[in-house]
Amino acid sequence: MKITNIEVFELKIPFSTGVKNKVSSNFLKADALDFCLVKIETDTGIIGWGDAFAFHCRRAVAEAINTMIKPHLIGKNPLDVQQINFELQKKLHLFGRYGITIFAISAVDIALWDIVAKHSNLPLCNFLGSVGEKKLPAYASLWRYEDAEAVQDRCQYAKNLGYKYIKLHEVFTSEVKAARNILGDDIPIMVDTNCPWTKDEARQMLNSWEEYSLYWVEEPINPPEDFESLSNLRADTFIPIAAGENACTSFEFKKMFDAEAVDYAQPSVTKVGGITEFKKINHLADTYGVQVMPHSPYFGPGFLATLHLAQSMPNPGLLERFFIDFEAYLYPKEIFTPQDGFFKTPDTIGLGLDPDKDVIKDFAVKTL
């Protein structure tokens, strides 16, 4: 089997946050999300789909795939996916072990694993060693509203939908307090702060939040790779620490674990180097006794890959559902809609579904 073509699709799909102040001053600044999909074709007719992290960097990632990765892959055997991943990281290391280059490799890697599983006539989770019958607990990952009333409205709505865990993206106490007041003590609350504070500021904030019994606080320190400060903070607070969405490759996670910086590790399959690298990170986490909580605020092949990876993990943790509603979805909306608080994993071959061609056509971004 040989790779005959690689095609990149850039999309921008509008969404709603469900509240009027849908674009806050400090969070994403968007009313449409970027997608960078990859389609890999083979001489046997098997096609694989992947996607890269692309929020506000879609063009750069697409160019990296087309100009830096595609020339290396045409003619290669896609079943040699782990060797391909190794060679791409080796050849492209000069261009960075973080960010755009690794995002691009991630997309290709996901598509190759889709091909491997389809070639084996198995769902990806079966190929990875799981029967695929685990109930995967979901959590609602709310937008940043910077408004206590909006936080309460969305928390109540998520609870009514059956979510048993809810994550905020807030940095002020008023919103955290509002969430706890509306949810009571029965619903665990997490807070993703997105790296806003120095270590001293983070210590002061987390000390003031201890009364809200948070399940975890996520990435409270800037820069996110300051694992020493994160470890010191973890030692000084009763609130568990989560991090990892900004880390790329297993080497960064090893540094994180060596520093004893986190209670929960959050690798993102569209950022870390794809399925190949995610598996390495999960093995490392098992060795260090750290629980993995996959970072997955995505709506393309990366989300499906996360479901299959979670199925292959003995203890899959909680899975993230970004709490926004799109004008159109690449897959049936039911895929992203947990039932009674749990996700279901597709049980057909490969990732389970190919993206909707009409949605790709309708929301394609014109590029020069």
Q: How is residue 102 written in tokens? A: 């690794």
- What's the residue count for the chain? 368
- 180 and 112 within one domain: no
Q: Is residue 252 part of a domain?
A: yes
CA 57 from chain centre, in angstroms, equals 15
Q: Which of 206, 204, 232, 200 is nearest to 218 (CA)?
A: 206
Strand-pair partners of 185: none
b/e code 21-44 from CB counts within 10 Å (16+ = b): eeebeebeeeeebbbbbbbbbbee
224 prior amide bond cis, ω within 30 = no
Residue 136 three-state SS: strand
90-123 pLDDT, tens digit each = 999 999 888 999 999 999 999 999 999 999 999 9
Residue 197 corresponds to which tokens in the numbers above? 């504070």
pLDDT at residue 347, rounded to an integer: 96
- What pLDDT, on a 0 to 100 scale, did the predictor assign at position 29? 75
pLDDT, residue 21, reads: 62
- The answer to whether the predicted template modeling score (pTM) of the entire model surpasses 0.85 is yes
113 lies in a domain?
yes
Q: Which residues are CB-contacts of 286 (< 8 A; sequence separation ≥ 6)?
A: none
Q: 33 and 82: one domain?
A: yes
Verify that 49 and 136 share a domain, yes or no: no
Shared domain for 206 and 232, answered yes or no, is yes
Q: How many domains does the chain have?
A: 2
Residues 18 and 80 reside in one and the same domain? yes
pLDDT score of 133: 94
Give the DSSP letter of residue 335: G
Residues of the chain with pLDDT under 70: 21-28, 368
d(CA 21, CA 146): 9
Domain span holding position 292: 126-343
Helix (H) or strand (E) holding 322: strand 319-322
Question: In the block, which residue shows the tokens 């109930």?
Answer: 135
Give a yes or no: residue 351 inside a domain: no
327 within a domain of the structure (yes/no): yes
Whether 40 is covered by a domain: the verdict is yes
**7 forms bridges with which residues in the sheet?**
39
Q: What CATH number does the domain containing 141 carry? A: 3.20.20.120
Residue 170, CA atoms < 13 Å, CB-side half-sphere? 27
Q: Is residue 224 part of a domain?
A: yes
Task: Examine the domain organization and report whether 178 and 50 are in the same domain.
Answer: no
The DSSP call for residue 339 is B
| Shared domain check, 136 and 115 | no
Count other C-beta atoms under 10 Å from residue 120's C-beta: 14
| CATH at 22 | 3.30.390.10
- The verdict on residue 350 lying in a domain is no
Whether residues 186 and 333 share a domain: the answer is: yes
Cα 140 to chain centroid distance, Å, stands at 13
Does residue 110 share a domain with residue 139? no
Q: How far apart are CA 5 and CA 47, in angstroms?
A: 10
Angle in degrees, CA 273, 278, 284, rounded to 5: 125
- Considering the domain architecture, whether residues 45 and 104 belong to the same structural domain is answered as yes
Closest among 129, 157, 132, 133 to 143, alpha carbons compared: 157
The reply to whether 310 falls in a domain is yes
C-alpha of 161 from chain center? 22
Instruction: Calculate ∠ Cα 311-343-160, nearest 5°.
Output: 150
User: Do 82 and 150 belong to one domain?
Assistant: no
Instruction: State whether 67 and 145 are in the same domain.
Output: no
Distances (CA, A) of 249 to 93, 112, 122, 151, 263: 12, 18, 27, 34, 19
Q: Which residue has the tokens 């993995």?
A: 292
Tokens of 178: 């509002």
The predicted pLDDT at position 96 comes to 87
